[in-house]
Every structure is written in structure tokens, then in C-alpha cells.
């Protein structure tokens, strides 16, 4: 089915609100319903891409809880937490671990308006010592009940929506595409609008064609490929 202008405008409006500087790193979170719920919250808040450190031989899987959000929030898989966290730090991210220890601070006292990564731990064990040792700050969400921790997807949603709330209040939540670099915006918009053509371009090692204001591809493509657009 051809891409209708209305659909294209919707894709662009959503991308215009995406934030490349807000993310989660999920260390060994592996239950499909948790991963799915977290990606769905990422999509709702406007996270451009998320990170997972998956256990060897157990790639992330999703279920219907995701409602397709895995299509709209790219999940980068890392073999271990160290390199992923160092890379985020080099990009200027403040790394927040979610740890219920004594040195952790109440998340409501933190400023999430700058580049922010929340590191969330496994359902059963929480964060590894290695990962906990690499963060800038540990934070916690205060609880008043009998149970000692929240479900990991609930913790992720609470933190992400607090970050969005702070950014909206500070007037720094993007609305016109300023949350990601212009070239990245162009690429992601193309991938969202034409995933099959984007995959073909990558296979061919060529850049994505330009799009018109209404989302039409401004280049002649092989007939077979055009028929699938």
C-alpha cells in the first residue's frame, strides 16, 4: 500500500518530538512483557533509542504488550554493560543507576533535563556490581508498601515520565525535530516511512533518497522495489 501523506505527516510529527538525549540501558532484563512494556513507555515519552545488555544466546524478544513500539524505538543490543556505558558517557550522558542502596538519592531530587541514561537491572537480581560501579549516581523511587521493589517496567516508566515532565517544564522538550541531529532525523524518517527501501539501500551500501514534503521518494528506484512502496 502506498504511503499516504497523512501517515507521513504523522510519522514526522512523532519523530519531531523524539529525544536522542534520553535513554534507558536494560541490563539483563529479559522477560518479553517487561521489555515490551519498557519500549512502549520509551515510545510514549519520545525516546529515540534504547539499549539492552542481553545474556549470551538470549536476544531480546517482545510480546503483544509492546503494541509494535519496537518498530519505533530502536533497541541496541550490547554484549556487556561496560562499553555501552562508557560510550554513553563519552557522548555526555549522565548515567543514573537504579539501586536501592544507602547512597542512592530520591529521583525527585535529580535534574534530568540534560542528556540522561537510566540503567535498570534484571527482574530478579537488579544491577550487576560492574554496572552499578560505572554510573555517575544511584537513584531510587521511594515506596511505602510491603514489597521491596517495583516491577522494572514500572520503575522505567516512572523515571522516563519524570524526565519528560522536567523537560516540558524547562521548555526543552523538542517539538520540531530539534531533539536529534538533522541528518539522523532524515535517516530515521526514511526508515519509518519506507523500511523495505531503507533495508535495500543499506544492502546496496547507498544513502537513502530524499523525500518530498508529502513523503514521496524523489528518485527512480528499481521497479520491483517501487511496487512494494
Interface contacts to ligand SAM, rule CB under 6 A: 98, 100, 120-121, 123, 125-127, 140-141, 143, 149-150, 152, 155
Residue with smaller CB distance to ligand SAM, 18 or 51? 51
For 151-188, give one letter per residue: b (16+ CB within 10 A) or e.
Answer: ebbebbbbbbebbbebbeeeeebbeebebbeeebbbbb
Q: Give least dist CB 124 to ligand SAM, A.
A: 6
Q: Give least dist CB 72 to ligand SAM, A.
A: 23
Residue with smaller CB distance to ligand SAM, 123 or 216? 123
Give residue for cell 530524499: 210
β-bridge pairing 105-106 and 116-120: unpaired
**Furthest C-alpha separation in the chain:** 63
Nearest residue to the partner ligand SAM, using Cβ? 126
Residue with smaller CB distance to ligand SAM, 110 or 221? 110
Short-list 21, 19, 8, CA closest to 176: 19
Q: Give least dist CB 118 to ligand SAM, A.
A: 8
Residue with smaller CB distance to ligand SAM, 18 or 28? 28
DSSP state of 69: G
Q: Give least dist CB 29 to ligand SAM, A.
A: 8
Amino acid at each position: 500500500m502506498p504511503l499516504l501523506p497523512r501517515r507521513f505527516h504523522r510519522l514526522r510529527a512523532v519523530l519531531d518530538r523524539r529525544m536522542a538525549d534520553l535513554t534507558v540501558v536494560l541490563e539483563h532484563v529479559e522477560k518479553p512483557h517487561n521489555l515490551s512494556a519498557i519500549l512502549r513507555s520509551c515510545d510514549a515519552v519520545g525516546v529515540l533509542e534504547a539499549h539492552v545488555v542481553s545474556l549470551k544466546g538470549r536476544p531480546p524478544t517482545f510480546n503483544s504488550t509492546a503494541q509494535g513500539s519496537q518498530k519505533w524505538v530502536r533497541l541496541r543490543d550490547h554484549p556487556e554493560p561496560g562499553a555501552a556505558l562508557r560510550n554513553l558517557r563519552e557522548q555526555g550522558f549522565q548515567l543514573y543507576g537504579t539501586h536501592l542502596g544507602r547512597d542512592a538519592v530520591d529521583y525527585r531530587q535529580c535534574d534530568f533535563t540534560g542528556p540522561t541514561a537510566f540503567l535498570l537491572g534484571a527482574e530478579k537480581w537488579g544491577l550487576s556490581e560492574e554496572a552499578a560501579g560505572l554510573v555517575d549516581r544511584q537513584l531510587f523511587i521511594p515506596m511505602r508498601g510491603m514489597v521491596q521493589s517495583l516491577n522494572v517496567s514500572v520503575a522505567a516508566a516512572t523515571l522516563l515520565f519524570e524526565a519528560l515532565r522536567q523537560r516540558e517544564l524547562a521548555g526543552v522538550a523538542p517539538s520540531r525535530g530539534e531533539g536529534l541531529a538533522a541528518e539522523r532525523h532524515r535517516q530515521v524518517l526514511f526508515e519509518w516511512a519506507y523500511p523495505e527501501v531503507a533495508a535495500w539501500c543499506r544492502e546496496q551500501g547507498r544513502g537513502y533518497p530524499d523525500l518530498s514534503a508529502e513523503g514521496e521518494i524523489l528518485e527512480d528506484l528499481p521497479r520491483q522495489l517501487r511496487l512494494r512502496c
